[in-house]
Amino acid sequence: MKTEKILLSLSCAIVVVMVCACAPEAPRAPADLLVASAAAGRVTLQWRDRADDEDSVHVERSLAGAAFVEIAVLPADTQVYSDTTAPSDTAISYRVRMRNAHGTSGYAGPIQFMVPGWWSPDFAPASWLLGQGDFFSATEVFDLEPLEARRRAGSVAVADGRLFLADMERHRVLIYDEVPGGPDEQASVVVGQEDPYGAVPGQELGQFLNPSHVMVADGRLFVMDSGNGRLQYWDAVPDESGVPADGAMGKITSAGKCRPDGLNRPAGFTVAGGRLIIADAGNSRVLIWNQVPRGPGHAPDVVLGQAGLWSCDATDDDPDGSGLARLLLAPGDVWSDGTRLVVADPGARRVLVWATFPTRNFAPADLILGQSGPRHMAANDDDQDGRPDLRPSARTFSAPTSVESDGIRLFVTDTGNHRVLVWDSFPTQTFTPADGVLGQSTFHHGAFNDDDQDGSPDFLPSPRVMKYPGELFLYGARLYVHDVMNWRVLGFLARARP
C-alpha cells in the first residue's frame, strides 16, 4: 500500500510539472527601448523583441507627467515606431509592451525625452527645393518634362512620409510616394488628371477647377476645389491616377447668393479636434462643422465673420467700429489645434486669434496680430495712424495669407513683404511683435528677392529670399513655404539654438 501511494504521488507530481511546463503564457517583455532619432514633430523609437509568440505590440505615451495613453497598436515582430504627433518642448515618456491571447507582457521603458522646438536664425537659407533646378533659377517653363517639376500655385502637405502638392494652374494634386530628394523627381500619382501631362479643368468628382489646398486627416485625402466651390474627399489616399473622389461638400455661390453650405472662392481649411473649418473668402466668413460632414447639404454649426449662416456681407454691425473684431474681410487661411483658432484676414492686414475655440456665431477674436485694435486695417502701420508706413516692422503685415503652428510657435506668411514671420511662443496679447523672420535679414526689409538687402528687388532669387510667398506647412523639422512667383517650394530645416 505504501509503495502504491508513493507511485501515485510521483505520477501526480509529474503531471503537475508537465502541466506547468506546457501552460500558455504571456509574451516576454521587450527590452532596450531607446529614441533612435528626433526632430520637431517626429520621434522614432526602437526596441528589442525578445518574444516569439506575441500577437501585437503596444506603444504608450505620457505628456508632461500625465497618465500613459496608448498611441499605437503594431503588428507582431515590429521593433521600430515613429510618433509623428510628438509635441515639441514637452517632456514625453514612452513605454512598449507585447500582447497575445494569454496576456500582456511587462514594459520596456519608460524612457523620457524632450523634442527640441523649431528654430531658425533670421534670413536663414532654405535647404530643400522643388520646382526649379537650383536655388538661383525662377523660370516658368511648361514645355519641359516632367511638367510636375514646374510652377506650383497651391498648398503642400506631408503625411505618412508622402508629399502632396495642390497645383491650381493645372487643376490637379500631385502625390509623391516620399518627400522628393531633388527637384527633378516625378510624382507617382496625379489626382484630377488621367496622366501627369493633363491640365483640363472639370466638375465631375475627382476633377478640379483651381484646387488651392490639400490635407490628409485620419487617413482621408481632402482637396479644396476652390473654382468649383467645394471640398472633395477620398476615404483613402489614391494609389493611382484618375481615381474619382468619394464625395464632396459645399455648393458654389457668388456675391448676393448666400446660403449656409455655399462656398465662394473658398481658400484654406483644416480638420482639427474632429471639426471641419473652412475659410470661405468670397463670403467673408469662416464656417465650422463640429463633425466632418459626408456629402453636401450639411449646414455648418458655427459661422464667424457673420451674424448668421444666411449673411455673407463684410459690413460693420456697430457704428463705433467695435464690431470689426468679429468681422472678416476675406479670410485666406485657418489653423487650429482643436482648442485655439487662428484666421488669416489679409484684407484687413491682420491675423485673428481665438484663445478658446469659438462655439457661437459672430464671436469676436480674443486678440489681433498686425494691428493694435479692430479699427485699424492699414498695411505696415506700426505707428497706427491709419496710413501705411514706408517699411514693415516686427508687428505689422502687408498681406498675411497663410498661418501655421506646431502648437507652440506661430508662423505667418506676410506675402506683400515677401517674408515669413515667426513667433517663438504662441502670442497671448494683441500687436505682439514676431521673434524671427525668413526671407529678409531684418523686420524692416520688404523687397522681393533682395539677397543683398539694399532695399531693391533683385532679378533672380537665392536660397534665402522669396517673391510673394504663399502657403505654409510644418512637418517634423522642416517648414515648407510655397514661393509663388519664384515658381518653387522651399524647405527650411529647424536648427539647434546656439
Residue range 63-119, pLDDT digits in tens: 988 999 999 999 999 999 988 788 877 889 999 999 999 999 999 999 998 876 778
Task: Report if residue 214 sits inside a domain.
Answer: yes
Decide if 275 is inside a domain.
yes
Q: Does residue 152 carry a pLDDT above 60?
A: no
262 found inside a domain: yes
CA distance 199 to 202: 10
Q: What average pLDDT does this structure show over 116-123? A: 81
pLDDT of 150 > 60? The answer is: no
Place of cell 481615381: 243
Among residues 82, 114, 146, the one where a domain terminates is: 114
pLDDT of residue 45: 94
Asked whether residue 327 falls in the same domain as residue 243, the answer is yes
pLDDT at 85: 82
For the segment 432-441, the average pLDDT, to the nearest whole number, is 97
DSSP H or E segment with residue 13: helix 2-22
* DSSP code, position 60: E
Residues 370 and 284 in one domain: yes
How much is the pLDDT for 253?
66
How does the average pLDDT of the chain come out, rounded?
A: 88
Looking at the fold, whether 440 and 306 belong to one and the same domain comes out as yes
Q: Same domain for 97 and 239? A: no
* In-domain check, residue 234: yes
- Indicate whether 235 and 328 sit together in one domain: yes
Residue 186 pLDDT class (50, 70, 90 cuts): confident
Question: 409 and 304 in one domain?
Answer: yes
pLDDT at position 143 is 34
Based on the domain organization, do 343 and 217 belong to the same domain? Answer: yes
Q: Residue 288: which CATH number?
A: 2.120.10.30
Q: Read off the pLDDT of each residue in 259-277 and give the average, rounded to a whole number.
A: 93
Q: Residues 450-475: pLDDT tens digits?
A: 999 999 999 999 999 999 999 999 98
- Asked if residues 324 and 315 have their Cβ atoms less than 8 Å apart, the reply is no
The per-residue pLDDT for range 323-368, each reduced to its tens digit, is 677 899 999 999 999 999 999 999 999 999 999 999 999 999 999 9
Q: How many domains does the chain contain in total? A: 2
Looking at residue 269, its amino acid is: F
Residue 153 has pLDDT above 70, yes or no: no
- Asked if residue 162 and residue 75 are part of one domain, the reply reads no
Q: Are residues 178 and 293 both part of a single domain?
A: yes
Range of the domain at 72: 31-114
27 three-state secondary structure: coil
Last residue of a domain, one of 114, 148, 165: 114
Q: Is residue 333 part of a domain?
A: yes
